[in-house]
Amino acid sequence: MTVTLGEGPIGVEQVVAAAFGEPVSVSGEALARCRAVWKALMDIADRGNPKVYGLNTGVGINKDQTVTRESYGVYNLNMLKVHCVGLSPYASAEEARGTMFLKLHHLAMGYTGITPGYVELLREMLNRGIYPAIPLRGSVGEADITSLSHLGLVMAGEGFVMDTQGLRPAGEALREAGLQPIKPGPKDGLGLVTSNALGEALGCLALHRAKSLMDLADLSYAMTLEGFHGNLSPLDERALALHPSKGVKVTASNARRFLTGSYLEGGAKSLQDPLSIRCSPMVHGAVRDALNAAEEALTGYINTPDDNPLAFEDGTVIPCALFEPLGWVLEFEKLKAALCHLSQTVARRTLRLGSDRFTGLPRFLNPCTSMCHAFGVIQKTVSYLQAENRHLSNPCSFDVESLSEDQEDRGCNTPMVMDHLKRMLDNLEVMLAIEILHGAQAMDMRGASYGRGTSRALGKLRERVPFMDEDRDLSLDVARAVEAVRSGELIEAARSPWGCGG
């Protein structure tokens, strides 16, 4: 289904759809608006006055320098070149498409005054699979100018694009696609680089991934309850009705559905389980609430023009700071903290499953105590991953130097915040896979009658990873479990009877 821009606000879902390959169009009204604003700015460029930042002046601390009519083309091309200071790694195809889509969305709002042909060229690049090599490192997040300059340079026929063989000259790729590059004119350089599109795209993709992981985390928790012989009272609807969190109720509902028909419904062996198990619905729920808050904040900002200055059809030009992303970046910093609580809870649930004094099963879920060590050593891997997540969760949005002779003296490090979040999700995927391996081992050893959802998930896991009846290379088991997590097959098997998840 084609995603159309210029007809109103968009949401994270549309960004994700475009990032994963849905075709993109721009409404005729949006294109007409872009042409009208561009014409108004060109009238100013021809007259040479009034002074407009980035049109007939320099940028940053060089705002006091004049750009003459004769140097418009050279100056704007040089602006793209000199801002190409980003560092690898480069954005994946999905990250590049998401960035291009959001840049196109901001351009289609009609406040940039950019040469209209760039809007159409960017649309065609998206639809024909031409993805610039966009570096992920180097932006301080106060507009991703050091990264988006690489996109702008490709549209001017220079720089590099990514293909299956690696980097490729952009001019060559555009020619093969039947597309003409556009040499930049007045204000095009600033218009192409001023945007938070990279950070926003990374945020949208992280939200999409984190939401999927939360349902998997609920399943992992339910399997731990089965293997632990846990107490179901923390899932009681009467108690949770008194709690203010919507996320808590979603997690508890998921867990109850996964556990429908379980032997646990007949009563618990312990009056109260360890807090890491007992408080899991509250922890998962807090993460869900943080995800919702982050999505709400980001959605507002992706539908706000982030140009400076803003240009209008009547020739009005307003210097502004709408590019400041702190309002939504703070929500993602909070989300990192919430995810660290989740990964710590997952780690401790996993370690509790290996304790015979809690489970009544052999220590480290060892099926043959005289021959095996089983899940003892893998606790070190769990500890490592949690330690890494603890450090990645630290705020980094205020770690920006005062730049450009103190003219640009703040920033948010938005792509860095998103990179840390992505790496936390990478670790969390592995930690959940390891917890599921523990839960499955405990379930098989206990041999009870399990819930409809948890038993289906156990069966699906065993198609990839057999019961550990003797010591073996557990790194291979972890890799297979991670594949099962990433494919979505475990959660789909678990919720297939009801379609639960939220």
Shared domain check, 333 and 191: no
Shared domain check, 381 and 354: yes
Shared domain check, 171 and 95: yes
Distances (CA, A) of 235 to 218, 281, 406: 12, 7, 54
State the average pLDDT over residues 246-258: 97
Shared domain check, 248 and 180: no
Shared domain check, 247 and 175: no
State the average pLDDT over residues 430-446: 98
The CATH code of the domain that includes 362 is 1.20.200.10
Q: Answer for the pair 456, 494: CB distance below 8 angstroms, yes or no.
A: yes
Distances (CA, A) of 369 to 81, 285, 471, 476, 492: 65, 38, 11, 22, 35
Q: Which range marks the domain in which residue 284 is found?
A: 203-495
Q: Within a 10 A sphere around the Cβ of 99, how many other Cβ atoms? A: 29
Q: Which residue has the higher pLDDT, 59 or 221?
A: 221
State the average pLDDT over residues 12-23: 98
Quote the number of domains for the chain.
2
Give 102's DSSP letter.
H
- Cβ neighbors of 150 (< 8 A, separation 6 or more) are 84, 86, 132, 133, 134, 135, 159, 160
Give a yes or no: residue 500 inside a domain. no
Shared domain check, 117 and 219: no
State the average pLDDT over residues 452-474: 96
What's the pLDDT at 502? Answer: 46
The CATH code of the domain that includes 31 is 1.10.275.10
Give a yes or no: residue 89 inside a domain. yes
Phi-psi region of 475 (alpha: psi -120 to 50; beta: other; left: phi over 0): alpha
> Is residue 247 scored above 90 in pLDDT?
yes
> Is residue 207 scored above 70 in pLDDT?
yes
Shared domain check, 177 and 230: no
Give a yes or no: residue 215 inside a domain. yes
Q: Cis ω on the peptide bond leading into residue 23 (within 30° of 0)?
A: no
What's the pLDDT at 497? Answer: 63
In whole numbers, what is the pLDDT of the chain averaged over residues? 95
Shared domain check, 370 and 386: yes
Q: Read off the pLDDT of residues 309-367 as tens digits, 9 standing for 90 and up.
A: 999 999 999 999 999 999 999 999 999 999 999 999 999 999 999 999 999 999 999 99
- Cβ neighbors of 73 (< 8 A, separation 6 or more) are 183, 184, 185
Shared domain check, 360 and 393: yes
Task: Give the residue among 390, 382, 384 at the shortest CA–CA distance from 341.
Answer: 390
> Is residue 388 scored above 60 in pLDDT?
yes
Q: Taken in order 172, 81, 148, 320, is the CA torsion positive or negative?
A: negative
What's the pLDDT at 498? Answer: 58
What's the pLDDT at 501? Answer: 46
243 exposure class (CB count in 10 Å sphere: 0-12, 13-18, 19+): middle
Q: How confident is the model at residue 169 (pLDDT cuts 50, 70, 90)?
A: very high
Q: Read off the pLDDT of residues 393-411 as tens digits, 9 standing for 90 and up.
A: 999 999 999 888 888 889 9
Task: Give the residue among 436, 422, 440, 441 at the shortest CA–CA distance from 482.
Answer: 436
Q: Within a 10 A sphere around the Cβ of 141, how many other Cβ atoms? A: 25
Percent of the chain at pLDDT above 90?
Answer: 91
Shared domain check, 135 and 243: no
Q: Name the pairing type of β-strands 310-311 and 160-163.
A: unpaired
Give a yes or no: residue 309 inside a domain. yes
Strands (E), 27-79: none
